[in-house]
Amino acid sequence: MPGLTVALMFGGRSAEHEISVISAQSIAANLDHERYRVLPLYITHEGAWLCEGVAQDILNLDLSTLLRSTSLEEARATLRRMVQQAQQQPFDFNFKAASIDLAFLALHGSYGEDGRIQGFLDTCGIPYTGCGVLASALTMDKALTKLCVADAGIAVAPSITIFSADYLLDPEAVHTLIEQQVEYPFFVKPASLGSSIGITKVHRQGELQPALESACSLDWKVLIETTIKGREIEVAVLGNERPIASLCGEIEPGKEFYDYQDKYIFNTAQFFIPARIPADLQEKVRAYALRAYKALGCSGMSRVDFFVDEQTGTIVLNEVNTIPGFTDISMYPRLMESIGIPFPELVERLLELALEVKRP
């Protein structure tokens, strides 16, 4: 596919903005710049689209080091200053004039991983990496994901769904409902955010209110999910009609659970590829990952996460990420490398899959 122009889209309006930037930096470093013209398209926190210029400057910024040495708020302020000082005109959405052939989506979270950008690009006739509109929207909502995979015969963690409007109207009634139906400890999760943003493990009554307030401030729907015992196992899936699954990878969190800072900033978690579970159980997990991928209508790529209890053989699906992290410490590229697909080849394959997929 020589001579194609790839719009590398990153940033975005979600709380995962900074991780998107770091993912895009890794992708740009692994794209074959002799075969492709890479056009950086940066979407600001406010939703402005900026092409080349400051977008390239942000790609060159060592954001990982900045996040480790300062606060998230200061890092965001740095990005905003770069945009303001550039005084650059926004992208005019004329994809034809920009000679854009396809888009590599490095947008995580809302407005990037939830079907909205996918629908826009479909309307514009621009192929893109990853899942289409329906699969993106379904998997972004943890509650709907549970319904779909449960229908496919895959176990999910017991949970109840709380609507933020109901909580704000009558917090005490929601507290009572939760305590009647779920035993401590449990997780409070925004239904449609990734990167563990807004997730709290609640051990006792006094921790419930701040956990709910945090989650409800980030999303209109919140999951109260039973704690599942077992190893955290992840499988990378790649492909369209005939997807392939990686080896099983295992994460041993550096904290009580695998949170945002553990994932992207301090890198205190330990990774094991292959996972430390019996071979027959690994094959079952890989088969479940492919089953979930197909049931949700995924294409291109996804990372499918499970909890696995090797003593009982229980496999419980946690979530499905359709635009998983692509940082230098992210599991998806590591897992693909475990089956002989290094990062540069992975990027190439994702572009090929984007061009061959038939969007409805």
pLDDT at 328 over 90: no
| Three-class secondary structure assignment of the chain | CCCEEEEEEEECCCCCHHHHHHHHHHHHHHCCCCCEEEEEEEECCCCCEEECCHHHHHHCCCHHHHHHHCCHHHHHHHHHHHHHHHCCCCCCCCCCCCCCCEEEECCCCCCCCCCHHHHHHHHHCCCECCCCHHHHHHHHCHHHHHHHHHHCCCEECCEEEEEHHHHHHCHHHHHHHHHHHCCCCEEEEECCCCCCCCCEEECCHHHHHHHHHHHHHHCCEEEEEECCCCEEEEEEEEECCCCEECCCEEEECCCCCCCHHHHHCCCCCEEECCCCCCHHHHHHHHHHHHHHHHHCCCCEEEEEEEEEECCCCEEEEEEEECCCCCCCCCHHHHHHHCCCCCHHHHHHHHHHHHHHCCCC
Tell me the whole-structure pTM to 2 decimals.
0.89
pLDDT in tens, 185-235: 999 998 877 656 788 999 999 999 999 999 998 888 999 999 998 999 999
pLDDT in tens, 48-87: 999 999 999 999 999 988 988 888 899 999 999 999 999 8
Question: pLDDT category, 20, cuts 50, 70, 90?
Answer: very high
What average pLDDT is seen over the chain? 91
> Domains of the chain by range and CATH?
4-128 (3.40.50.20), 139-155+228-356 (3.30.470.20), 159-226 (3.30.1490.20)
Cα dihedral value 343, 347, 349, 352, nearest 10: -170
CB 211 within 8 A of CB 182: no
